Amino acid sequence: MAAPSLVAGLRAIVGSDGVLDRPEALLVYECDGYTLERAAPEVVVLPRTPAEVSTVLRLLAAEGIPFVPRGAGTGLSGGTLPVGAPVMVCTSRMQAIEAVDVANRRIVVQAGVVNAWVTNAVRAHRLCYAPDPSSQPACTIGGNIAENSGGPHTLKYGVTTNHVLGVEMALPSGDLVALGGAVEDRPGYDLVGLAVGAEGTFGIVTRATLRLMRTPAAYRTLLAVFESVDAASEAVSGIIADGIVPAALELMDRLIITAVEAAFRIGLPTDAGAVLLIELDGPGPGLDAQAAGVEAVCRRAGVREIRVARDDAERAALWRCRKRAFGAVGRLAPNYCTQDGVVPRTRVPDILRRIAAAAARHRVRIGNVFHAGDGNIHPILLFDGRDADEVERVLAAGRDILAACVELGGSLTGEHGIGVEKIGQMPLLFAPDDLRAMISLRAVFDPEGRANPHKIFPDAKVCVETRAPRRQAAV
Amino acid sequence: VTDWREIVGAEHVRPGSPGDAVDGVVPRWVVRPGGIAEVQTCVRATAADGLALVPSGLGTYLDRGAPPSRLDVLLRLDRLARVLDHQAADMTVTVEAGCRLDALAAILAAAGQWLPLDPPAPATTTVGGLIAADLSGPLRAAHGRVRDALLGVRVVAADGALVHGGGRVVKNVAGYDLPKLHVGAFGTVGVIVEATFKVGPRPVCEEAVVVAARTSAAAVEFARAVLDSDVVPHWLEVAGSGGLAEGPGDGAAVAVGLAGIAEEVAHGRARTLALAAARGVGAVPVADGTGLRLRLAAFPLEPAAAMLRAAALPTEVGDVMLAFAREAGAAGSPVRCLAHAANGVVRAAIARATAIAPVVAALRPWLEARGGALVVERATPEVKGEVDVWGDPGPGLQLMRRVKEAFDPGRVLAPGRFVGGL
């Protein structure tokens, strides 16, 4: 229970409809898309403006109270789990698109603006915001910045950090500071680059200046069906080796194909080993030649069948099954957990073998749907949350897979973040001196350690209730 | 007191001479470690002796930045020059900091790849210098900057610890993005010893179209028309009067870079020529687009009393060029401007030293008020003594001071070289 004086103070800042402290109202906030651990905050505060965020943080600073920032709660690593932080500050009511500069391809948005709204706001000008996580109809720009989110089209266009020019951040002291801005090349340390991906441990991003890009004039979207994931992986390597950089290069294995077909009935061959979703884009001329090149590579890799989207509707249908693949998995088991790891893209066949071995060893069903062009894997571990033993086996299999990623020269996470989920694995990737450097950077922004404490870095982790999840991960 | 010969061997230490000066400050020693462990020992020794060092590759860009407030050791990293691991199929490369860009480019080219960053003088620019000075060139219009290509670094910290950040894979959000801390930091928070970059396929064709314009405003207008068309320029430079040797003399010019497969390039060429024809201005196709781009990329090193660098919004490039011409003219100096038009970056080569302070005084407040900047990129130590090199880095300065304090509390690393005297 939050102290009544604190609740009253918060209400005075944001109004009574912006403060939640009844237990039933807090239930929603006890986890994000990572459902294996839960902890409800004592109070949730929903400011409507950057100034209100600043005032809220000033109040918390005066009391020395730690806080956890939250956007839409679609994160997959437990980054918004309140651990040792009684107050949750949600940016979801800060939804203003403040300025659009079409000529310079910039947009200024508040942190609670949903990712997909950005492109919707500028589509008529043939502009778009490139990072497109699968959760883009729900996730917020503030959350994207905290996690440095990716998406299928990052292979060609980069992740969030490549598209954020400036952020306004409320520091834990309550000070609002504008870092970077619409102009490139301002001198000084790249504080914007450091703030992106800091998982809310520097403060709360309140506004951002984003770079927009020209919407590609033309697309070629292909679905290639292979007998095995090895053959599909060979095609991925072949495409890259031919000097083609597709806008997206996504792989789904048999388990996922089966789930997607059951859900969407688009005629995917459920006996195939793997399908690749390949998208090329650009101004138009030369795209056919590139598509022919991709088809030739796929044929060399022994492709069974290639389908080419004939129009926008077919393209949209292909993407729908990719972006909703996670949801389709819901048909296969009561619960699932999406892992996120990275390997050098040539090691994709190796990591898939290691995933299969982990599945067998821990008796867990695992499907794979992932960004093959980036080597960014997303094994989906199926389980029944009512089976405590199976939950333990899922967690163990996840740990084995991440350890394998690191062994193969990769990383613990490509786009979901460390959060609470992967704290224990950080020492696999970083030596004590590396971690010390990061922790000293955090202290620059948050000397008292009150912004999203007990995240990213292994410390004496406060005990969190681990139990069977009640709802599916929202992807 | 350290005997540097014991660390790196007598043949790799010499007393500093005027030729080694960093913005007029002559180091006491020039020390060339032969490996990461030796770099660590050198940094520890410098700190233990209460001295200060400036990291350097081949010294090509040591006249950028503010003069160091102290300098004892010029730590040359040019012996760490290996390409450690080029994974062509992964499109990544890991190199030592002292590796020259031309040497790296040759290895990548053998696999049909490149690191699409094109600062001037690749034969005398090292990877460490590229990162520390955040160098860029015309290709940034399509490929971004160092911050967009850098995946990982290994850095020797001020206490001698070897710290790694990022990794060797193209996508990675484990922990903070420490590589970004070192980009453009002028060695003030660590000595970069190794870096991993994302690389890409080198386009098979590169051409250009040069378009004449009567004024720089007209040139900028044409550049904007290209950006708004369905041409996807690989690079887009706008030259003011005299800024482009290929240009039309007194007028301004636009150089539109086109790259990709032959069909794409042919389409871009035809569309650009059509845009020029519709405006009734002259346009010349240039078959050797790479050659032209490299000449344009070399502009920042051209002889001048000073090279100034203005940062503004892309739509403001014409105004900035006009303002340079006006203020330099008022101060009695010729000026030549070349802009990365898609990025809002204008470089101005000021011919006369006496014009530099008045031009900076006139333009800097105007640019900073609009969220931009004016940096004295290159000038003599005398000029740098009179003019603040960096200007105001904005409201983040307080945090930047704390970054420096956190990473180099003893001010061992390039003290005074960076913004705000950091």
Structure confidence at residue A162 as a pLDDT band (50, 70, 90)? very high
Average pLDDT over residues B47-63: 96
Residue A342 contacts B where some CB pair is shorter than 8 Å: yes
pLDDT bracket for residue A448 (50, 70, 90): very high
CB pairs under 8 A between A and B: 250
Tokens (6 digits) for A351: 């990591």
User: In this model, does residue A327 exceed pLDDT 60?
Assistant: yes
Interchain pair B157, A433: CB under 8 A: yes
* B178 pLDDT higher than 80: yes
Q: A463: buried, middle or exposed (CB in 10 Å: 19+, 13-18, 0-12)? A: exposed
Residues 6+ apart with CB under 8 A from B373: A183, A185, A186, A187, B310, B311, B364, B367, B391, B393
Write the pLDDT tens digit of every residue in B325-363.
Answer: 999 999 999 999 999 999 999 999 999 999 999 999 999
Q: How confident is the model at residue A160 (pLDDT cuts 50, 70, 90)?
A: very high
B224 contacts A194? CB cut-off 8 A: no
Interatomic CA distance for residues B225 and B254, integer angstroms: 11
What is the model's pLDDT at position A464?
47
Instruction: State mean pLDDT over B155-165.
Output: 98
At A469, is the pLDDT very low, low, confident or very high (cuts 50, 70, 90)?
A: very low
Using a CB–CB cutoff of 8 Å, tell me whether B371 touches chain A.
yes
pLDDT at B246: 57
pLDDT at A159 over 70: yes
The pLDDT of B377-389, averaged and rounded, is 93
Q: What integer pLDDT is reported at residue A463 of this predicted model? A: 44
pLDDT of residue A1: 75
The mean pLDDT value for B353-380 works out to 96
Give contacts of A100 with chain B, Cβ < 8 Å: none
CA-to-CA dists, residue A215 to A107, A218, A376, A400, B229, angstroms = 15, 9, 24, 40, 12
Q: Does A430 touch chain B (CB under 8 A)?
A: yes
Mean pLDDT value across chain A? 93
Higher model confidence: residue A67 or residue B217? A67
Stretch A207-213: mean pLDDT, rounded? 98
Average pLDDT of span A286-310 = 94
Query: In angstroms, rounded to a whole number, what is the distance separating the alpha carbons of residues B195 and A61?
Result: 39
Q: What's the rounded Cα separation, in Å, for the pair B59 and B53?
A: 14
The answer to whether the Cβ–Cβ distance between B373 and A185 falls below 8 Å is: yes
Report d(CA A427, CA B233) in Å as an integer: 44
B366/A112 Cα distance (integer angstroms):
33
User: What is the per-residue pLDDT for A466?
Assistant: 45
Residue A460 — pLDDT band, cuts 50, 70, 90?
very low
Would you say A6 and A55 are in contact if contact means Cβ atoms under 8 Å apart? no
Q: Which of A237, A245, A409 sits opposite B201 (nearest CB)?
A: A245
Query: Which ipTM score applies to this complex?
Result: 0.97
What share of chain B in percent tops pLDDT 90? 94
Give the count of alpha carbons within 13 A of A34, CB side only.
23
- In B, which residues are within 8 Å of A249 by CB distance? none
Instruction: Supply the pLDDT for residue B250.
Output: 65
- Report pLDDT for A263: 87
Tell me what the mean pLDDT of segment B6-10 comes to.
Answer: 97
When pLDDT is cut at 50, 70 and 90, the band that residue B247 belongs to is low
Does residue B264 carry a pLDDT above 60? Answer: yes
Q: What is the mean pLDDT of residues B106-132?
A: 97
Mean pLDDT confidence for B26-41: 98
Q: What pLDDT does residue A329 have?
A: 86
Q: Do A193 and B372 touch (CB under 8 A)?
A: no
From the list B163, B173, B407, which residue is nearest A414 (CB)? Answer: B173
Q: Residue B249 — pLDDT band, cuts 50, 70, 90?
A: low
- What Cα–Cα distance (Å) separates residue B311 from each residue in A102, B347, B348, B393? 19, 9, 11, 12
Q: Which of residues 79-138 of A touch B (CB under 8 A)?
A: 101, 103-104, 106
Amino acid B403 reads V
* B401 interfacial to chain A (CB closer than 8 Å): no
Tell me the DSSP string of A314-378: HHHHHHHHHHTHHHHHTTT-SEEEE--EE--GGGHHHHHHHHHHHHHHHT-EEEEEEEGGGTEE-
Beta A341-342 vs A465-466: how paired, if at all? unpaired
Mean pLDDT (whole number) for A30-38:
89
* Whole-structure pTM value: 0.96
What confidence score (pLDDT) does residue B271 get? 96
Closest CA to B293 of B145, B147, B106, B140: B140
> A446-450, B53-57, B262-266 — which is least confidently predicted?
B262-266
CA R_g for chain B: 22
pLDDT for B32: 98
pLDDT over threshold 80, residue B131: yes
Residues A393, A397, A398, A402, CA torsion sign: positive
